[in-house]
Amino acid sequence: MRRMKKTLAALAAAAALAPCLAPAAEKARAKAAPPKEEYAVFVTSAGKIAARLLPQEAPMAVKNFVELAQGKKEWTDPRTGEKTRKPLYDGTVFHRVIPGFMIQGGDPLGAGVGGPGYAFPDELKAGEKPFDRACQLAMANSGPNTNGSQFFITEVPTSHLNPQPCGSPSGLCGYTHFGEGVCGCDLVGKIARAGNSQTKLEKVVITHTRPTCK
């Protein structure tokens, strides 16, 4: 009888602890779960190109790009000088394209000299070689730490774009790599051969579902 009472007491104690343990277990599972992958779909007048974004490599660049694409970040329109939160990339063009190299966009002016009215630092690491592969997404710049809204997508491997030692404050020069193509990469060459400003970027869609570019 005493043994039965002890068993019942143990079961009652376990039942009482269960509600306390459940939230802790949920928290542990949430902590262990990997972050959802995020993709950018470039909807152009020639078709779709999609890239997987890489916040673990370039958190500032990814955050900036996503917020500008979704209209969540304030920027200064160089056409009017006014601050706005409208999606920056909608209706822009690929203003600079070079066949066998890359396509560049993200300028509100469409001339290669415009931006969001601010700049943020490079995110480069010595020894990294992201541009050894084709269809890579990166920030365009006019020198160290001048990232804004302009970006480019490579058509072919472009190893000379990998970070190189230089006299910048960080000791490295290059282009912040923040995405890699997952579909539609064949369009990069098509857009490049069409010529400067001939292809419109209708919008950039940010999604957590892997795109098919269909």
The residues with which 147 forms a beta bridge, in sequence order, are 120
Q: Which of 74, 56, 49 is CA-nearest to residue 64?
A: 74
Mean model confidence pLDDT for the chain: 91
pTM above 0.95, yes or no: no
Which of the listed CATH numbers 3.40.50.1980, 3.40.50.2300, 2.40.100.10, 3.80.30.10 matches domain 39-207? 2.40.100.10
| Predicted local confidence at residue 35, as pLDDT | 75
CA gap 150, 45 in Å, rounded: 18
Structure tokens at 142: 């006019």
CA gap 112, 103 in Å, rounded: 12
Residues of the chain below pLDDT 70: 1-34
Residues 50, 203: contact at Cβ < 8 Å?
A: no
| Predicted local confidence at residue 149, as pLDDT | 98
162 Cβ neighbours under 8 A, 6+ residues apart: 128, 129, 130, 131, 132, 174
| Predicted local confidence at residue 68, as pLDDT | 98
